[in-house]
Amino acid sequence: MAKEKGGFWVGFAAAIFYPATALMARRRNEDAELIPRTGGALIVMNHVSHLDPVYDAVFTRKQGRVPRFLAKHGLWNVPVLGSVLRGARQIPVYRGSADAQQSLRAAHAALEEGLLVIIYPEGTITRDPDGWPMASRTGVARLALEHDVPVLPVARWGTRELYDHYHKKFRPFPRKTVVTKVGPPVDLSSYRSQPHNIALLREVTDVLMNEVKGLLADIRDEQAPDGFYSKKA
């Protein structure tokens, strides 16, 4: 299978991330063949650990695609990492500033260019004590509705066992297993012709995250809770 060309910095990151992720955890991928091999696609994922982007990047690259992540703009100031992010054409997210909408514009442009974009709609690592998704931001709905590209829910579990940020625990031993499960594209055709108001954006966001939550429940072999954890609560 021919891989999408990523350039020097993608190759540089792969040379580090491939062996590092393999050392820390075994991988199990389910239904990975559903990831489109060409063309624009939006991948909607849960977020449980700062290690998620590393494992998700390796997973996506092994499917022949170069992922474009929406990530906090402060990471662009980190030595070496900032160079990788710029060189690999990742998308900085500016929150609470005049540049906030620029993040979504860059993601829109990536989809129009036929690239694969990964978004964590929760915006940060979930604060749900049991690791289920939180209430999410509606930017994912805007991206999903304004582009005629596959929108795939994907869940990943196991990275929080490696690194739990909120409890400051890094536990590489014994070796963990990181599982990624891909769902089929979500049919949003009935929503695209409706006015894109706040109520619709919230509904579509919840539809997508419920799909992600269902995949996560399958991985964990547990019953998912109703609704989504709220930071405000």
Query: Does a structural domain hold residue 47?
Result: yes
Q: What's the average model confidence in pLDDT over 143-158?
A: 97
Query: Does a structural domain hold residue 13?
Result: no
pLDDT-derived band at 3 (thresholds 50, 70, 90) equals confident
- Rounded to 5 degrees, φ, ψ at 99 are -90, 5
Query: Does a structural domain hold residue 17?
Result: no
Query: Does a structural domain hold residue 4?
Result: no
Cα 2 to Cα 194: distance, rounded to the nearest angstrom: 38
Range of the domain at 91: 32-220
Query: Does a structural domain hold residue 10?
Result: no
Structure tokens at 103: 């993040």
Range name among 37-51, 88-102, 205-219 with the lowest pLDDT average? 88-102
pTM of the model as a whole: 0.93
Helix %, strand %, coil % for the chain, to 5?
40, 20, 40
Shortest CA distance to 155 belongs to which of 61, 54, 64, 32?
32
**Structure-token match 């539809």, residue found:** 207
Query: Does a structural domain hold residue 138?
Result: yes
Helix axes 52-62, 7-24, angle to 10 degrees: 110
pLDDT-derived band at 79 (thresholds 50, 70, 90) equals confident
What pLDDT, on a 0 to 100 scale, did the predictor assign at position 75? Answer: 78
| Number of domains, the chain | 1
Query: Does a structural domain hold residue 3?
Result: no
What pLDDT, on a 0 to 100 scale, did the predictor assign at position 141? Answer: 96
Report in angstroms the alpha-carbon separations of 176 from 21, 116, 129, 170.
Answer: 10, 28, 20, 12
HEC per residue, 41-61:
EEEEECCCCCCHHHHHHHHHH
- CATH number (domain holding residue 183): 3.40.1130.10
Query: Does a structural domain hold residue 216?
Result: yes
